[in-house]
Structure 1
Amino acid sequence: MCVLSTIYRGTDSCPGLVLGLDRGGSCLGRALRVRGVDWAAIKARLDERELPTGVYLPRFLPVRLEDGQMVPAYAYVVDRDHWQYWRGEHDDAIRLLRQGHGRGGSARDYLANAVTHLTEMGIRRSSLHRLLRQVDGKA
């Protein structure tokens, strides 16, 4: 949770907080294959959605598929020099997740959706699970 959301999960005056790929570590996810003929249109659509404020830097990153094969994947890495990059205190994260509500819904629901997807992938205990319980006042 390192991006202040001012459009989809918050506003300029009342930002929310969302996930962003940052340097270091790793993450589990899904890689989607795109046919070459479709790439330009899909890239344009993704860039329009993900880059309205420029908080992300589009990059091709190496990813390891389930079969062990390494392939390049188009991803968005947070720009640590952008004003929306957030590295605050834990209590502030809870506040931002509770307050944020934008075009795409609430920051709390964004976090809950991420936790649901982690659970579906077999990850049942994580810092995001714990954070959601705290946002909901259950921890």
Structure 2
Amino acid sequence: MTTAGEIERIDQLPSGPLYVFGYGSLLWRPGFDYRSSHRARIHGFHRALRVWSFHHRGTPDRPGLVLGLDRGGSCLGCMFEVAEGNKRAAAEYLWEREMVTNVYIPRLVKVACDGGRFTALTFVLDRNHEQYAGLLRPEHAADHILGAQGASGANPEYVRETVAGLERLGVRDQGLRSVLRHLEGSLDREFPSD
């Protein structure tokens, strides 16, 4: 049984329930059935706006910017527990959602939460992929996000909803909040109120 590291196929998931670690849009739009969720932390990766979005929140001609788990540090997010009976459907849905362009690597990670320690599925970014954006200053990230739209909607909505989802968990991600402040300032200048 695989307990940690990269996986390539759904049949490599551990037996029993499926645990999923969410750090971005899964916080506010999981899209799969789960029986419980818990605030949780992983080590060795951190949340960062470092993925050019060519599909969900942008296009190849006008890429948006979305989150990925990049190497180093730790990340507070949410662990979802999926009953074994729903495991295959949830995993297939996640593969379809996250692996559209293969910018992410499916990985089993160790997750710590109030309920204990678990091995969870998550998706980390591939630094060698053409969609890896690298480190961007908050104002530059906001410039790319503003006006970008893809199959899942507007890119600014993604940032706003993710910040709100994190805050519901009691997590204040200063980097994302800084990008959101720049976005809101740009929107205020573009659409001034009367």
> Could you say whether these structures have the same fold, taking a TM-score greater than 0.5 normalized by the shorter chain as the test?
yes
Equivalence for 2:121: 74
Instruction: Report the Cα offset of residue 123 of structure 1.
Output: 3.1
Count of matched residue positions in the alignment of Structure 1 and Structure 2: 137
Q: Which runs of 4 or more aligned residues in structure 1 lie more than 3 Å from their structure 2 counterparts after TM superposition?
A: none
In 2, the alpha carbon distance for the partners of 1:21 and 1:137 equals 27
Q: Point out where structure 1 has 5 or more consecutive residues left out of the alignment.
A: none
Instruction: Report the Cα offset of residue 124 of structure 1.
Output: 4.3
| Equivalent position amino acid for 1:116 in 2 | A
Please tell me whether Structure 1 or Structure 2 has the larger radius of gyration of its CA atoms: 2
In 1, the alpha carbon distance for the partners of 2:151 and 2:96 equals 15
Aligned residues: CA RMSD: 1.5
Which of 145, 148, 153 lines up with 1:100 in the alignment? Answer: 148
Instruction: Report the Cα offset of residue 118 of structure 1.
Output: 1.9
Identity percentage of aligned residues: 37
1:3-82 matched pairs, under 5 angstroms: 3-67=51-115, 69-82=116-129
SS of the residue 1:137 aligns to: helix
Asked if structure 1 preserves the Cα contact closer than 8 Å seen for 2:56 and 2:151, the reply is yes
Instruction: Report the Cα offset of residue 125 of structure 1.
Output: 6.1
SS of the residue 1:29 aligns to: strand
Equivalence for 2:131: 84
Q: Point out where structure 2 has 5 or more consecutive residues left out of the alignment.
A: 1-48, 187-194
| Equivalent position amino acid for 2:157 in 1 | D
Specify which structure has the higher proportion of strand.
2
TM-score (norm 1): 0.91
| Equivalent position amino acid for 1:117 in 2 | G
